[in-house]
């Protein structure tokens, strides 16, 4: 693991955006794995800025998002498809047909999981997977104690994740209890992984991920096995290292 500690979220997101922009310039048809959540928002803003000011070209880029809530249509403002469109895709020159987010409304969600894996494979695999980190050590929606070799699957959201995400969701009672997520094995197959975690609330999970034992109780610890994982932190999330 390459651990990089920046002085704050702004600096961390700028560096993260620079790493992705470099890949997009070097490989204009790269396959990016993308993440939602509050953490990567500034990173997306910086990529949008680079698109507008320097013409960073996304026209041949393909994307696969990590996860989606089961039951939420793309028109729901808390769906991850909506998040990606509003916060990134509609501001850049990406071909919408090349953007993939699991379909949480599929009639057969298990078939959707299998199909998602096939689509990633058909695209040639993921060049760089962007990740956030749950306070309980989850990546994507791979909650503690799941298989570290899992492929795209359905996960039941933990109480803590429901509570954490209800802050943006608005209404706890209305939150979906399940999500489709790339598995830990799917994430480990990416040729490069870039995880961002900022703020004191992530400190414990960061310590377990970087210095703890490889264990299903902290799914992010599986990144210790990845040959090219970059972990971008700030002073507060890195305080336990
Ligand atoms: C969510 C998402 C993850 C995200 C994490 C952290 O539940 N499924 O992909 O990385 O929790 O979210 P945030 O960045 O808002 O702290």
- Tell me the per-residue pLDDT of 116-155, one tens digit each, with 9 for 90 and over: 999 999 999 999 999 999 999 999 999 999 999 999 999 9
CA atoms within 13 A on the CB side of 178: 12
Q: For residue 151, is it within any domain? A: yes
Ligand 1 pocket mutation, candidates 12, 39, 182, 202, criterion most atoms within 8 A of CB: 39
Q: For residue 241, is it within any domain? A: no
Domain span at residue 10 reads 2-234
* 187 confidence band (pLDDT: 50, 70, 90): very high
Q: What is the mean pLDDT of residues 24-40?
A: 98
> What is the model's pLDDT at position 220?
98
Asked about 67 being catalytic, the answer comes back as yes
Q: For residue 103, is it within any domain? A: yes
Q: Which of 35, 241, 55, 68 is nearest to 154 (CA)?
A: 68
The Cα–Cα gap between 71 and 79 comes to 9
Q: What is the mean pLDDT of residues 26-51?
A: 98
Asked about 143 being catalytic, the answer comes back as yes
Ligand 1 center–CA 92 separation, angstroms:
23
DSSP string, 118-180: HHHHHTT--SEEEE---TTS-BTTB-TTS-TT--SEEEEPPHHHHHHHHHHHS-GGGS-SEEE
Q: For residue 145, is it within any domain? A: yes
Q: For residue 240, is it within any domain? A: no
Closest C-alpha residue for ligand 1 atom 3: 140
Q: For residue 29, is it within any domain? A: yes
The predicted-structure confidence for 54-100, as pLDDT tens digits, reads as follows 999 999 999 999 999 999 999 999 999 999 999 999 999 999 999 99
Q: Which of 156, 155, 208, 163 is nearest to 186 (CA)?
A: 155
The interface pTM score, or ipTM, of the predicted complex is 0.95
Whether 3 and 231 have beta carbons less than 8 Å apart is answered as yes
Give the bridge partners for 20, in sequence order: none
> What is the model's pLDDT at position 184?
98
Which DSSP state fits 79? S
In the chain, what percentage of residues exceed pLDDT 70? 100
- Lookup: tokens for 26: 């070097």
Give the ligand 1 atom nearest the CA of 165: 7
CATH number assigned to the domain comprising residue 15:
3.40.50.1360
Q: Ligand 1 pocket, 66 CB below 6 A?
A: yes
The Cα–Cα gap between 3 and 233 comes to 7
Residue 216 clears pLDDT 90, i.e. is over it: yes
Residue 117's SS3 state is helix
For the chain, what is the mean pLDDT? 96
Q: For residue 76, is it within any domain? A: yes
Asked about 8 being catalytic, the answer comes back as no
- Which one of the listed residues 67, 68, 127, 164 is annotated catalytic? 67
> What is the model's pLDDT at position 170?
77
Q: What is the mean pLDDT of residues 179-201?
A: 98
User: How many domains is the chain partitioned into structurally?
Assistant: 1
Q: Ligand 1 pocket, 35 CB below 6 A?
A: yes
Q: Ligand 1 pocket, 180 CB below 6 A?
A: no
């Amino acid at each position: 693991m390459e651990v990089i500690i920046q002085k704050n979220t702004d600096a961390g997101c700028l560096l993260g955006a620079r790493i992705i922009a470099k890949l997009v310039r070097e490989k204009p048809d790269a396959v990016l794995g993308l993440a939602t959540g509050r953490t990567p928002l500034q990173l997306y803003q910086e990529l949008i800025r680079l698109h507008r000011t320097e013409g960073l070209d996304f026209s041949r880029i393909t994307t696969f998002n990590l996860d989606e809530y089961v039951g939420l249509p793309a028109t729901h403002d808390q769906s991850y498809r909506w998040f990606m469109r509003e916060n990134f895709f509609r501001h850049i020159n990406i071909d919408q047909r090349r953007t993939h987010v699991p379909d949480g409304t599929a009639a057969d969600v298990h078939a959707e999981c299998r199909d998602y894996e096939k689509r990633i494979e058909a695209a040639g695999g993921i060049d760089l997977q962007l990740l956030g980190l749950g306070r309980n050590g989850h990546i994507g929606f791979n909650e503690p104690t799941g298989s570290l070799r899992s492929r795209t699957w359905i996960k039941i959201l933990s109480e803590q994740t429901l509570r954490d995400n209800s802050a943006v969701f608005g209404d706890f009672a209305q939150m979906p209890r399940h999500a489709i997520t790339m598995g830990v094995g799917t994430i480990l197959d990416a040729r490069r992984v870039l995880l961002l975690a900022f703020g004191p609330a992530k400190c414990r999970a960061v310590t377990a991920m970087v210095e703890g034992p490889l264990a299903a109780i902290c799914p992010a610890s599986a990144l210790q096995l990845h040959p090219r994982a970059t972990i971008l932190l700030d002073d507060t999330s890195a305080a336990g290292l």
